[in-house]
Amino acid sequence: MRGWPCGPARAVAVLTPLLVGLPAATSASQDETSASNGWPGGPETGAAALRGGSYGEAEAAYRAALPEPGARLGLAETLRLTGRYREALETLEPEAGASPVPAELLARAEIHLEIGEGEAAENLLRRHIERVGPASDGSSLEAETLLGLLELRRGKRQTGLARLDEVIAAYNTLPGAVFRARELAAVGKAAAALGFQSSGLFRDALRVFDEAAVLDPGDPLPPLLAAELLLDKFNTAEAAESITTVLRNNPRHPHGLFLAARLQDRQIAALAEGGPPPDALAEALAVNPHFPPARALEVQRLLEQDRREEAEQRAAAAVDALPDAPETLAALAAVRLLAGEDPGLFELEARYLHNWAGDPLLDLALASAAERRRWYQEAAQRSRAALRRSPDSAAALRLLGLNLLRLGDVGEGRKVLEDAFQRDPFDALVKNTLDLLDELDGFTRVNSPPFEFVLPAAEADVLRPYVEALSREAVDSFRDRYGYQPPETLRVEIYDRSADFSVRTVGIPGIGAHGVCFGNVIALESPSARGIGTYHWASTLWHELAHAAAMGLTDNRVPRWFTEGLSLLEERWRFGDGASLPFYTALRDGQLLDIPHLDDGFVRPTWPGQVGVSYFHASLVLEHLEREYGFAAILEMLEGYRQGMDTPQVIEGILGITPKALDEAVDALLEARFGETARGLEESGPQGQGTPLHPPPEPDRGIEALVARADAAPANFALQIRAGVALQEAGLGAEATERFERAAELAPEYGGPDGPYRYLSRLYADAGEPDLARLSLHDHLKRFPAAYDEWLRLAAIYSETGNPREAGAALTSAIEAYPMLPEPHERLAEAAAAQGLADLEVRERQAVLASGAPDRAGALYSLALAHFRAGNRDAARRRVLEALEIAPTFDPALRLLLDLRREG
């Protein structure tokens, strides 16, 4: 486990304690217009309005006060924040013959920088420095920092680095200097930019930002810079604090809102079911419709949702508005990359590089876009290009390393991430991933071509046979059905800790999913990572392998909704599944998305539970496609995606209908199959949001009241279940049965853990109806295959009625739900022995042993006996000796040992 580094490596912070709380404006900077440390002061009214985000009021106040000092700067800042960049620049143009004010030179440079006009910015910054003196005498720390950063981005690496070093040196060596907040912020920026040389500088940068914020609590710049740095390190909690500071003062600060949107993206990515956040990005763009980073983020989101046309339109419009802004150029380039428009992409790259030869932003944007589309090879190539542009970019190293891991190149990926960690040990994604890789060293690796299984050492003996057999079955099935050819190595990693799985998937703990497929690498949670009855590992593995097939068949171009729908459909066919209550309520409430926007339900959910509902919805679309157009149509659609078509093109080109027509057809199917039930769910909406169907009846009202409510709402599924549970608990079996039968009629495809068939199976058994009990269990398990205990019950019924084959099948299904306990293995071994299935008995006896049977000597003896029956004499001898090593007077084992000796 890596520790976070501690202690600054350079002395940036040495002087800073002197600064806190000192009065401002003693610096040599010539900001004669500033009332408070560089933040536009000017007329009080305008400044107050600007700080609070009342831009209209601020503009009016500044314009009215234009002859007054500071009004020009205040007005320009107002115009900049609201995206009127040209007007802002014009405002600051010196009048003919007048000498430019240094503060205005700086402000103009910052505006040019924001809209990507590097050359103009550079000229202005140089003029500023000429006017006020170099950094070495403390006069132009802001300008020198901006210029140094600009030089780095424009490919003048050595000059830029030297300039930033000078800024820090000046800061450290100027005796008795007292700095303004903006100057401190500039020093912090310089320190952050040099952080790759010495990790302590990152910490120093944050410290300086904090001190600047203390010095001028109303200035949004220091917390904005801190937030950006923290977001870059994936420290979302602390970034959120800084963003909140900015937005508390000015809820309409476009940069603050943009960072809030970035933060929201992180949280959505990590916690997809976390709930709908307000749309900070839309708010940012409402304030400043041209803010380049926000425009780029908007395009990125559209691309994530596979809304390619809209993405292209928005990106092109943004580039038209501000043709040099690197963020929007990069966004448009990403659109072109994903569309496969190479000439357009080359043109943009050339245009970008003309101005920003040393800035990896475009390559990183392309790498990220490719990564989000699961084009990991492309992402790795683009990350390498970013590194050629900027060899010290820890972000590029992170992207490269993570994508190499996704491609299965663990050795090289780890090396690259180690390199990234050297440059930036505060990057949480990198640290978490390296810690995980350290842990993986202790995992068991099983090479079984084309598979490479990576299993928790303590669980490997239990999991291996089932994981291996199921993986083969799945790949064989996909080979037959889809013509899928697995790669040379298909790596399957299983994690016994949810946090480790989450780190493998998104770099941070907290993801809500159970499995992920990167194409040729699959990761999923071990059954032990979750409780019994809640997680079905086998269907998850099957689901992810289906993704591997769909991604392999389309060169990773299949859209999210299609591959999720296909995977769930495959999963449903193999294991069964049912509709969830949230699905019914979403259908009832018209919350299901249309097909071209179905990806949104996965990548940008807007209400809790939408991801799960979207899975089921997508699988129903795929089911409809296969039924209506035949399986060949699905294969053709996959091929269409491989060729780069988007969903509307695939639908129109292959199915010969419009997306709207397909939507209507699917809607008709859903209406016919689920509509009546969904409408009958009136009043049961809240249960659809995750509360159990059957909380105990309200204590003050009792069963009678609950039954009366259920009587009054005979179409209310949840109420029937709740009434049934209450009646069953009160010993009123016949009445309870009636309720559950009614519920089963209402929602025959309901697939929750507390579905009516589960209760009915018990009630029928109690009523002496074993056949009905068995059928109800089947009905329940078809809809909720994770019900481990019910599989065991079903197996018991079959055993008791003399059906060992069916009992064995039920026990196998129990193992597919949860293989970590000895019981199903023990019973399956017994069933196998009874049927003379020696190999199966051996496998199950091995599993009993591996699953930690408390009677180890007994388990070893039984395994020895199974080997003996299977004709494996050496293995039998070995195991019986192990049993007797623990229990030397264990009579049956002693007899087996004698038998082995006498026969051998």
Per CB under 8 A, residues contacting another protein are 528, 530-532, 820-821, 852-858, 877-878, 881, 884-891, 893-895, 897-898, 901
Report the nearest approach of another protein to the CB of residue 856 (Å): 7
CB 219 within 8 A of CB 28: no
Give, in degrees to the nearest 5, the angle at Cα 511 between 509 and 516. Answer: 110
Name the residue nearer to another protein (CB basis): 342 or 855: 855
Is residue 100 reached through a cis peptide bond, with omega within 30 degrees of 0 on the bond before it? Answer: no
In the bound complex, what is the minimum distance in angstroms from residue 502's beta carbon to another protein?
15
Cβ 46 vs Cβ 65: under 8 Å = yes
Instruction: Work out how close the CB of 887 gets to another protein at its nearest, in angstroms, rounded to a whole number.
Output: 4
Shortest distance, position 888 Cβ to another protein, whole Å? 4
**Residue closer to another protein, measured from CB, 685 or 852:** 852
| Residues contacting residue 419 through CB under 8 Å, at least 6 positions apart | 397, 401
H helix or E strand, kind and range, residue 453: strand 451-455
Choose between 549 and 821: whose C-beta lies nearer to another protein: 821
User: Minimal distance in Å, beta carbon 855 to another protein?
Assistant: 4
Minimum CB separation from another protein for residue 859, in Å?
9
Which of residues 586 and 815 has its CB atom nearest to another protein in the complex?
815
Alpha-carbon span 337 to 116, nearest angstrom:
22
- Nearer of residues 508 and 821 to another protein, judged by Cβ: 821
Alpha-carbon gap, residue 24 to 175, rounded angstroms: 17
Sheet containing 515-517: give its strands across: 444-448, 451-455, 490-495, 521-525, 515-517
**Residues in the chain, overall count:** 904
Residue with tokens 């071509």: 449
What is the 3-class SS of 704-773, one letter each residue?
HHHHHHHHHCCCCHHHHHHHHHHHHHCCCHHHHHHHHHHHHHHCCCECCCCCHHHHHHHHHHHCCCHHHH
Q: How far is the CB of 583 from another protein (least distance, A)?
A: 27
Q: How far is the CB of 901 from another protein (least distance, A)?
A: 6
Look at residue 448 and give its three-state secondary structure.
strand
Query: In whole angstroms, how close is the CB of 833 to another protein at the nearest point?
Result: 18
For another protein, the closer CB: 308 or 856: 856
Return the number of the residue (282 or 898) whose C-beta is nearest another protein: 898
- Supply φ then ψ for residue 115, to 5 degrees: -100, 10
**Residue with Cβ nearer another protein (314 or 877):** 877
Q: Which residue has the tokens 């043109």?
A: 347
Q: Is 3 exposed, middle or buried (0-12, 13-18, 19+ CB in 10 A)?
A: exposed
Q: Which residues contact residue 775 at a Cβ distance below 8 angstroms, ignoring those fewer than 6 apart?
A: none
We find the least distance from the C-beta atom of residue 835 to another protein, in angstroms, to be 25
CB of 892 to another protein, least distance (A): 9
Q: Among residues 704 and 855, whose Cβ is nearest to another protein? A: 855
Q: How far is the CB of 875 from another protein (least distance, A)?
A: 13
Residue (of 509, 569, 514, 564) closest to 538 by Cα position = 514
Helix (H) or strand (E) holding 515: strand 515-517
At closest approach, how far in Å is the CB of 876 from another protein?
13
In the complex with another protein, the residue whose CB is nearer, 351 or 856, is: 856
H-type alpha helices, 216-279: 221-232, 236-249, 254-270
Chain centroid to Cα 317, Å, comes to 29
Judged by beta carbon, residue 781 or residue 880, the one nearer another protein is 880
**CB 891 → another protein: shortest distance, Å?**
6
How far is Cα 682 from Cα 869, in angstroms, rounded to an integer?
60
3-state SS of 66-133 is CCCCCHHHHHHHHHHHCCCHHHHHHHHCCCCCCCCCHHHHHHHHHHHHHCCCHHHHHHHHHHHHHHHC
Which of 765/881 has CB closer to another protein? 881
Rounded to a whole number of angstroms, the minimum distance from the CB of residue 862 to another protein is: 12
Shortest CB 267 distance to another protein, Å = 24
User: Do 644 and 340 meet the contact criterion of CB atoms below 8 Å apart?
Assistant: yes
Instruction: Tell me whether residue 359 or residue 790 sits nearer to another protein (CB atom).
Output: 790
Outline where 784-872 has alpha helix (H): 788-800, 804-817, 822-835, 838-850, 856-869
Mark 646-684 as b/e (b = at least 16 C-beta within 10 Å): bbbebbeebbeeebeebbebbeebbeebbbebbebbeeb
Would you say 28 or 894 has its CB closer to another protein? Answer: 894
Q: Which one, of 618, 719, 701, 600, lies nearest residue 662 by Cα?
A: 618
- Measured from the CB atom, is 398 or 827 closer to another protein? 827
Element (H, E) at 142: helix 141-153
DSSP string, 280-320: HHHHHHHH-TT-HHHHHHHHHHHHHTT-HHHHHHHHHHHHH
Which helix (DSSP H) or strand (DSSP E) does residue 447 occupy? Answer: strand 444-448
| Residue 672 structure tokens | 């016919």
Kindly tell me which of 541 and 884 has the beta carbon lying closer to another protein: 884
d(CA 549, CA 482): 8
Residue 531 or 695 having the CB closest to another protein: 531
Burial class (CB in 10 A: 0-12, 13-18, 19+), 699: exposed
d(CA 122, CA 160): 12
Nearer to another protein among residue 579 and residue 897 (C-beta): 897
Q: How far is the CB of 456 from another protein (least distance, A)?
A: 13
**Shortest distance (Å) from residue 895 CB to another protein:** 7
